[in-house]
Amino acid sequence: MLVRTQMDVGATKTIYRKAEVITFCSATLSREMMEINPANLTFCPYKIFVYSTIDQPDITHIGHDTFPDGEMKKVEAFLDQIVKDAIGQD
C-alpha cells in the first residue's frame, strides 16, 4: 500500500524492503477473552508482523501486538510463543 500510494502523497522514500502483517483469531482463546469482557472484541483479529527495511535489509523484525494488563495478557503470551516458535527460540 505504501509503495502504491507513494506518488499520490508526494513521498520519495521507500521504507520497507518487505513487510507483512498476519492477522488471525483463535476461536477458543477469543471466545474466552470476550466472555470475560465483551469489549475485548476490539483486539481481534490478533496481529503478528514481519518486516525488513530498505536501510537495514539484513535485519528482519518480527513481533506482535501488546495488550493492557488483565485477561488479554494471556493472548499476548500466546502470540509471544508463536513468534518464538517461528524464530526457533524457546
Residue 57 scores a pLDDT above 90: yes
Residue 1 scores a pLDDT above 80: no
The residue ranges of DSSP E strands in the chain, in sequence order, are: 16-24, 46-53, 61-64
Q: Where are the domains of the chain?
A: 15-86
**pTM of the full predicted structure?**
0.85
89/66: higher pLDDT:
66
Phi/psi of residue 4, each to 5°?
-60, -35
pLDDT at 45: 97
Q: Tell me what the mean pLDDT of segment 42-71 comes to.
A: 96
Q: Tell me what the mean pLDDT of segment 4-23 comes to.
A: 91
